[in-house]
Amino acid sequence: MSDCLMLKKSNCKNCHKCIRHCPVKAIRFSGNQAHIVGNECILCGQCFVVCPQDAKGITSEVEKVKVLIQGEETVIASLAPSFIASYKGVGIDAMREALLKLGFKDVEETAIGATIVKNEYERMIEEEDRDVIISSCCHSINLLIQKHYPKALPYLANVLSPMQAHCMDIKKRYPGAKTVFIGPCVAKKDEAERYANIVDAVLTFEDLALWLKEEGITLKSKVDVTENSRARFFPTTGGVLKTMSQEAEGWTYFALDGVQKCIEALKDIESGKIHKCFIEMSACVGSCVGGPVMEKYKHEPLNDYFAVAKYAGKKDFEVEQPKIAFLQKNFVPVPKELSQPSEMEISSVLRQMGKFKPSQELNCGSCGYETCREKAIAVCQGKAEISMCLPFLKDKAESFSDTIVNNTPNGLIVLNESLEVQQINKSALKIMNIRSAQDVLGEPVIRILDPSVFLKVLNTGKSVKEQKTYLAEYKRYVEETVVYDRDSRMLIGIMRDVTDEETERKKKESIGRQTVEVADKVVEKQMRIVQEIASLLGETAAETKIALAKLKESVTNE
């Protein structure tokens, strides 16, 4: 596969949207980055269309075309008929006028080549012994068959696409000319590269619009009228059939758009259920007017169809039909490199994804694969990672979270803004003597706790940190922390049971008080004894003094 689609790794956010929309699952994930699997990709461009981060891009060949124009060769543009839907109100004459200013020698409608291809389809139905014919206009459908449904290759019309048929016709009429196809398709870039010397370069409508803007060229609103232009219907669903006679006896004609519908039809064809049918297949819903560049920027299904229908005439372009050999195209199978893993390998991956029995295989499709088994096969092939499984990640995250929540010694309670219990852990149940979480989940918190602290935090937005609270109804002391998470709009309460600490503290306080009281009594008693002793000593001293005084007086008298 050519590098038509490029990946901007810095933009890829590992959202898996591309794999969910890829019809053939040609996306590989490694290191949280998406990679396109070249030998499986059908270049439908859906990854480019749906990527929300613009991580997928389409390579531009504008510089290559500028070099061609500056050369000596005549450069002629083949303009896809869906241009009338991309540039509404601008006909081929106005487009030619603008493109001549860019340096092209001339501009023609690819619908001319579509008429040549349509004529060849009608001849095949009438003259060849065919059972089923699949149109070969859409390169993405051709790649789908070559890469994924090779058993249907015999039914793919071995005819050039309108782009190729027109560019070969141009080169026949202008020997030595260089051809540039301009359209809404990514796959045409690969087709031009895969089948050399027919189309020299491919531009998307986006490439052209940017180039015109760069040169300051404005498209004029002018629509020409050409009766011989029925093949302009080609870019719409059923557009090929609208140009065909559909008169072959015993044949059924129908059109399919969208890769999924085409896949279902290819399965029926491979199984031998379909016969005598001409099937117009388009990878894009709505056909080419729903092409990836159209769909990404300007897709308006009804308006696009009406723009094409109004512009198309009722008769064919007048063309010189080439010989059969000139239009033949050889399609070969494109083998896929990835091998099918064994049942043991698939089962091993399923177990790693937490799928131990069929009932656990949810087949939710969030990873991008239809079934868990398909995802497991992709993991074995190195295309997917186990972590892409959303239920697996959710269960793993919840299991990890629950392990932490249920084994922390702190009580945790989560309330919504209506103050209803959303989650409660085992420690909180124990603190509040609640038998089971089911008894309180969804109930107002006022049933089990005073809601005032939660109301305060909800109304002020300010957290409460380690506020000591006595839960009288549970005879528990707790240090309460309440925070409000604005993102989840939840109140989170954390309760640390400090009952034992508080009891021990009060016990120590009681012992201290008792000790002080005893000390006070001892001191008081000692003071009383001292006072009594002092009193006794005072009386004795007085009596002694009196006695001595009398003795002294007696001695003196003598």
Torsion, Cα 289 292 294 300, to 10 degrees, reads 70
Under 8 Å between Cβ of 163 and 191: yes
Q: Which is it for strands 75-79 and 178-183: parallel, antiparallel or unpaired?
A: parallel
At 331 the pLDDT is 94
- Residue 264 pLDDT greater than 90, yes or no: yes
The proportion of the chain whose per-residue pLDDT surpasses 90, expressed as a percent, equals 61
The gap from C-alpha 245 to its chain's centroid, in whole angstroms, comes to: 44
Task: Determine the average pLDDT of the residues in 123-143.
Answer: 96
Amino acid code (one letter) for 318: E
Angstrom CA distances, 539 to 8, 424, 536, stand at 112, 79, 5
Q: How far apart are CA 371 and CA 352, in angstroms?
A: 15
Mean pLDDT of the chain: 89
Q: Which is it for strands 421-424 and 411-416: parallel, antiparallel or unpaired?
A: antiparallel
At 421-466, the pLDDT tens digits run 998 999 999 999 999 989 999 999 999 999 999 999 999 999 999 9
- Residue 149 pLDDT greater than 70, yes or no: yes
At 354 the pLDDT is 83
- Residue 558 pLDDT greater than 60, yes or no: no
At 217-260, the pLDDT tens digits run 999 999 988 999 999 999 999 999 999 999 899 999 999 999 99
Phi, psi of 506 (to 5 degrees): -65, -35
The model's confidence at residue 535, banded by pLDDT at 50, 70 and 90, is confident
- Residue 398 pLDDT greater than 70, yes or no: no
At 183 the pLDDT is 95
The rounded radius of gyration (Å) of the Cα atoms in the chain is: 44
- Residue 141 pLDDT greater than 80, yes or no: yes
Which of 382-386, 501-505, 534-538 is the least confident region?
Answer: 534-538
- Residue 401 pLDDT greater than 80, yes or no: no
Amino acid code (one letter) for 118: K
At 35-77, the pLDDT tens digits run 888 889 999 999 888 888 888 888 999 999 999 999 999 999 9
The model's confidence at residue 393, banded by pLDDT at 50, 70 and 90, is low
Task: Determine the average pLDDT of the residues in 305-317.
Answer: 94
- Residue 519 pLDDT greater than 80, yes or no: no
Q: What is the DSSP string of 67-129?
A: HHHHSSS-EEEEE-TTHHHHSTTB-HHHHHHHHHHHT-SEEEETHHHHHHHHHHHHHHHHHS-
Q: How far apart are CA 289 and CA 281, in angstroms?
A: 14
pTM of the model: 0.73
At 340 the pLDDT is 84
Q: Which is it for strands 178-183 and 411-416: parallel, antiparallel or unpaired?
A: unpaired
At 2 the pLDDT is 54
At 114 the pLDDT is 97
At 396 the pLDDT is 66
- Residue 32 pLDDT greater than 80, yes or no: no
Under 8 Å between Cβ of 304 and 85: yes
At 179-227, the pLDDT tens digits run 999 999 999 999 999 999 999 999 999 999 999 999 999 999 999 889 9
At 352-370, the pLDDT tens digits run 888 888 888 888 877 888 8
